[in-house]
Amino acid sequence: MMIGKNQRFGRRQHHTIISQEIIKPSSPTPSHLQTYNLSELDQFIMHYYVPLIFYYPNDKLCSLTLDDKVRKMKESLSQSLTRYYLFAGRLHSPISPYTLCNDEGVVFVEAKHDIQMNMSQHISDDDDTVGQLFVDGLSWWQHSPNKRANLLGVQVNHFACGGIAVAVTISHLIGDACTFGSLMSHWASVARYGSLDHKDVLQFNPHFLQIPATISFRGPPPEAAVLGTPCVNPITRKFVFSNTKLNDLKNKVLALAEGGSTLSMKKPTRVEVLAPLIYKTWAAGFKKSILLFPMNVRNKFVPKQPQTAVGNLISGVLVTTKHESEASLRVLVSKIQKGKMELECAKSLHLTREYMDSAMSRLSKEEGLENYKSFLCSSLCGFPFNKVDFGWGNPVVASLTLGPGKGVGSFLMDTPNGDGIEAWVTLERQDMERFQNDKYLLSFCQN
């Protein structure tokens, strides 16, 4: 249906909502699957939405029209929702320990913009109009005001050049980045191959854990809110680090470790050196700080869980810094590696939740979290977001969009060509001025 809604996009551009409908599963969800219990780890997560946007240029060689592309996305989403039936349901209430898999469907919006696609890619996260690329109410890091909240939203944005951007938001309460990546890969594969039973689609079929019902919504511990304190005056900047520069950084860290350190260290990964570099640069402005480094623990469980396991199968490495000597790259990398080894104990949902509760409780009692500044560094590297191909090629850009209400921290994503890492860093405005002019940090950035 046509929605009469013109809005300002920046100072001179407009966008128009041209259609909105609800996409339901192509076949109904069986009655015995119509309640999905949230796990202990799901209930640890604050209820906010994770927004990703995928940009596809107008390929002159593609025979599909824009209408063909949208129709294909709708049909394949409907088919995918018969497997990922949870996402077509609703959260029963903001404090409910379960969701209703009632096939109410996914909001699917089409919008038309009078700007070029490349202009949209350069709109800053600090510009509130970036939210116009997403379904209303599901674009930011905040709790939905709706009692029966949508769990997934899609908006297809048409640009003047013929390019499109597919903006997707998922409730973090029911899935992490791994879940998000599997869902997008499944949906895109169904669009490409046209069948749920194609061998290249089957590998992305979801694996649902059997979660017993809980009496009440436990929710995250009070200390978790301290680690997620939002910025008062946030600003976001993107920094790009090539693999060559990251290899140089890894070699420097290893050389320091071999120079008489008593701390054990194995060869670090790209993320294991980049996260501490970003954190160290930010933390130089504070006496006491905490780095929270989330980790996928699917392969820690006994038995191991597939990467298509749905839910928040994550834990976190916590690194505290109280003295300048604790903020060296050598020490930070070693602490992250040590923390990752400790996660070997995370062999089940319950043990992982106990580990997180214990770590935060210990920090709260021994350290006094109110005296610390916290920094979240989450990595989306290795997830297939740059390969979400609906049948007209991979996106030229796949990016996380933060928007208002974001907290201090950084998100890491592979560059589109896979030759490096993009770091999206959000800080208080006064801290960003110091951060973005740090000479050591900039020496590893791509020119």
Packing angle of the helix pair 270-283, 329-342 (nearest 10 deg): 120
Ramachandran angles phi, psi of 270, nearest 5°: -60, -45
Closest CA to 274 of 55, 87, 85, 446: 446
CA distance 219 to 279: 28
Helix, strand or coil for residue 403?
A: coil
CA distance 186 to 74: 13
Per-residue burial over 382-398, b if 16 or more Cβ lie within 10 Å, else e, is bbbbbbbbbbbebbebb
Residue in the block written with tokens 């997403």: 134
Give me the pLDDT at residue 412, please. Answer: 95
pTM over 0.85: yes
DSSP label at 129? G
DSSP 221-284: -HHHHHTTPBPSSEEEEEEEEEHHHHHHHHHHHHHHHTTT--S--PPPPHHHHHHHHHHHHHHT
Per-residue pLDDT of the chain (447 residues; tens, 9 = 90+): 333 333 434 444 567 999 999 999 999 999 999 999 999 899 888 778 888 999 999 988 889 999 999 999 999 999 999 999 999 999 877 778 899 999 999 999 999 998 888 877 766 666 667 778 888 767 665 555 555 678 999 999 999 999 999 999 999 989 999 999 999 999 999 999 999 999 999 999 999 998 988 756 556 666 666 666 678 888 889 999 999 999 999 999 988 776 655 456 788 999 999 999 999 999 998 888 999 999 999 999 999 999 999 999 999 899 988 877 677 899 999 999 999 999 988 899 999 988 888 888 887 776 677 778 889 999 999 999 999 999 999 999 998 876 655 688 999 999 998 899 999 999 999 999 999 999 999 999 986
Give me the pLDDT at residue 7, please. Answer: 41
Reported as type and span, the H/E element at residue 420 is strand 420-428
CA distance 280 to 325: 11
